[in-house]
Amino acid sequence: MTSLTRLDLFCRVVDNYGDIGICWRLARQLQREHAIAVTLWVDDLASFRRICPGIDVQADTQMQAGVTVRHWCSMDGVFSVDDVADIVIEFFAVDIPPGYIAAMAQCQPRPVWFNLEGLTAEEWVEGCHGLSSTHPQLGLIKHFFFPGFTEKTGGLLVEAGLAEQRRAFQSDAAARTAFLAQLGLGPEQMAARLVSLFCYPHAPVAELLAAWQLDTTPTTCLVPEGVAADAVQAFLGTPAVAGACATRGALTLRVLPFVPQEDYDRLLWSCDLNFVRGEDSFVRAQWAGRPFVWHIYPQDEQLHHKKLRAFLQRYAAGLPDLSALSLQWNGAGSSAADWPALWAGFRTQMPAMQQRAEAWQQQMLALGDLASNLLRFAATPR
């Protein structure tokens, strides 16, 4: 295999910020840490701009953080062999333009082609990671690459030095205070139990907020604008716009603007507990070294509940209250849940969850990072 210096990454935005969040992190890491010339093809630039404010939604081609960003506005087009990168990644089985695939077949040597799959803790991925499939007409070989939680998978997406950056920030009280002040928090709100809330619209947010109102310890909940809008507006009694804030009982709820990815990491690092969703924020919560609750992307026939239980079996062993609240949060628990009791049990177990979060991070770092593992696989002769 000749030197692999160019990579094309194709992303279609399905879960508003999860798909592009993952692809944007991966693209930047490949460029910064491995000197790969990356082109990121994206169909939804408006969603992209929410996490990367520099994006020009009108531009067909632009440079952002050393990455070429192309607006994927057409299902097809005319491509030549010069347009094809050394490594081609389709994220989560998107359909690459047929003209691009035809050009891939004309390349010598042919590019390394990956389907980068979604993250799951299910055991079957260990047998599928790295498997190949041959295009029935063109003979191109596609490899299936699975992120995951064991040494038989591709590991998790994580930048070099992230753990050190996180520990430095969390040990610097002044840095945390300055960051939270930029988001509009005062000293009293910072001193409370700090929780970030990022979930899908069907989460039982109203029930959780009600439990926090009745708690004996003050809680400050930070919610990005547009998330759980109905429940948040009902709590506030005013439009759920960035900057809106209200206190009821022991709970203060503040609506935040969407922030760039680097600031979202700092938000997770600043909080005592993080509610996250999908895949991107789910992974970043694991690197935050804090207790978290995952709202998994819903699938037909409740398949997401199987995936949730597979993760909890790996992560939450010995933490029954984390499992109980997580299942209820995802609609996999009792139809008549006692949310104050669920929260009381969860709150009591949070110190043990903190210890688990730190140990889990070290366990995941030992697997290596997804980007390096993928490039190593691409460079291995087959």
| 233-246 confidence digits (pLDDT tens) | 999 999 999 999 99
129/116 Cα distance (integer angstroms) = 10
Tell me which CATH code domain 162-366 carries: 3.40.50.2000
CB atoms within 10 A of CB 183: 19
377 strand-pairing partners: none
**19 catalytic, yes or no?**
yes
CA distance 370 to 378: 12
Catalytic-role residue among 15, 117, 279, 280: 279
Predicted local confidence at residue 1, as pLDDT: 42
Q: Is there a catalytic annotation at residue 301? A: no
Closest CA to 146 of 163, 129, 133: 129
pTM recorded for the entire structure: 0.95
Alpha helices, DSSP H only, in the chain? 18-34, 45-51, 98-106, 125-128, 162-170, 173-182, 187-191, 205-213, 229-236, 261-270, 280-288, 303-315, 320-329, 339-365, 370-379
8, 15, 19, 369: the active-site residue: 19
pLDDT of residue 15: 63
Orientation of helix 320-329 relative to helix 339-365, angle to 10°: 110
Structure tokens at 304: 């997401």
**Is residue 340's pLDDT more than 60?**
yes
pLDDT digits (tens, 9 = 90+) for 65-119: 999 999 988 656 789 999 999 999 999 888 899 999 999 999 999 999 999 999 9
Where do the domains of the chain lie? 6-157+367-379, 162-366
Instruction: Write the pLDDT tens digit of every residue in 172-192.
Output: 999 999 999 999 999 999 999
